[in-house]
Structure 1
């Protein structure tokens, strides 16, 4: 089981086997998601802008789209919840 040590600055080095399994590279971002049981899950947070294609549902031309509508659609397409 991979283990990491937290530095005095709150930093850790993610073990190579975990980075490989998550597909992480230098400069990538990660999310820390807290589950209902209080445990945390680490997920890669980087996505190509191309991955968002089609995330917004189609609106009729000229129909205004609110920022909230955009956020909800993006969160749903990304598999997250809109908090």
Structure 2
């Protein structure tokens, strides 16, 4: 993957790489120099990005029973 450096020295991290590293808006990153002279991009906050659907998962709590739902849909209530 390649990207272009802007006049301000900024680059866009390609989406597959952001996904792999768990980098999202507001994430901090570090650039580290490897022993061989390479530069490595590391997510600095150490947090793994959760699925965009993670916030939708969970338990709704105590809800209506099946009989109560059927009663509401039939108009018995």
Q: Please tell me whether Structure 1 or Structure 2 has the larger radius of gyration of its CA atoms.
A: 2
Aligned: 1:20 with 2:19: yes
Structure 2: gaps (5+ residues): 48-77
Q: Find the residue that maps to 2:25 and give its secondary structure.
A: coil
Q: TM-score, normalized by length of structure 2?
A: 0.57
Name the Cα RMSD after superposition: 1.2
Higher relative contact order (CA 8 A, sep 6+): 2
Deviation at 1:35, TM superposition (A): 0.9
Query: What is the aligned length?
Result: 47
Provide the C-alpha distance between the structure 2 equivalents of 1:29 and 1:22, rounded to a whole number of angstroms.
11
Provide the C-alpha distance between the structure 1 equivalents of 2:37 and 2:3, rounded to a whole number of angstroms.
20
Structure 1: gaps (5+ residues): 49-83
